[in-house]
A = this chain, B = another copy of it.
């Protein structure tokens, strides 16, 4: 990178761009800024404020004809609340910006808001503000979310230690399979529809995040938005460690396994490279992992060194970078 404008964004990549922002905007002393699921801002009353924001653009993140507005509203709130869950925090408030094309029916926005409200109510989150404006053509959505946690308890990506086990909540790959079914126009029987709902209606792991954050020996944590192939790398880079992942151990839902067998899809690839599961990826020391009372699966371990060794089938999986799709 030479900073002289000779690179397009496609060449620079999403993470290169974020790197440039980090160079230009160092976080103040005591504050965790850019580079984790949330910023962590210490308050004066024994709590830390958590803040995150996510943008969804029609044509990049969703297709208007494919996603019903209720589900888009739900998902817009869910992906942000998930960032608070990823720190082990409690979400408190959201701020919604929407740019809408003039011809869009008001019924669309009612359904969108109903979905946004239903997810918010489920997690006790208040919509406290936002911005509504016109877009020439595409729907643009941005949500900012606030949350909180006791001072010093936010679980950062940088906390993984060699010897930790790598764990995930839930199962992986359903959301990616649902997206693949949508994009491929696969006939929607009940099983396919269930995968599509996992893609449209993710449930952020707030309760699980809070319990993991309260458990001793749980170290790094993040949510799985881009796929563990990419997301685990963030933990490794931030922590200065490597990892071995046992591909056969990655938890798959029975529905995903059946659909993949039926349609000839690669379930492991969907689970590793597909994103938007919004499960939690975390590392814990082996003694602590044994004592955890929330459902989870051990999928690997943290090593000194760097990079990911995929054991079990010898393949390597590339990550996922929004600017290179």
Q: Are A95 and B53 in contact (CB under 8 A)?
A: yes
Indicate whether A41 reaches chain B with its CB closer than 8 angstroms.
yes
Tallying the copies of this chain within the complex gives 2
Given contacts A5-B110, A21-B127, are A140 and B41 in contact (CB under 8 A)? no
State in angstroms the CA–CA spacing of A144 and B54 once bound together: 11
Q: Are B45 and A132 in contact (CB under 8 A)?
A: no
Q: Are A57 and B136 in contact (CB under 8 A)?
A: yes
Indicate whether A135 reaches chain B with its CB closer than 8 angstroms.
yes
**Which of A8-16, A149-157, A164-172, A177-185 lines the interface with chain B?**
A8-16
Give the distance to chain B from A139, nearest Cβ to Cβ, in Å. Answer: 10
Please list the residues of chain A having a beta carbon within 8 angstroms of any beta carbon in chain B: 1, 3-12, 14, 17-18, 20-21, 24-25, 27-28, 31, 33-34, 38-39, 41, 43-45, 47, 49, 51-55, 57, 59-61, 92-93, 95-110, 113-114, 117, 120, 126-138, 140, 142, 144, 146, 322-323, 325
State in angstroms the CA–CA spacing of A18 and B133 once bound together: 10
Give the distance to chain B from A85, nearest Cβ to Cβ, in Å. Answer: 16
A322: chain B residues at CB < 8 Å are: 132-134
A6: chain B residues at CB < 8 Å are: 105-107
State in angstroms the CA–CA spacing of A47 and B6 once bound together: 46
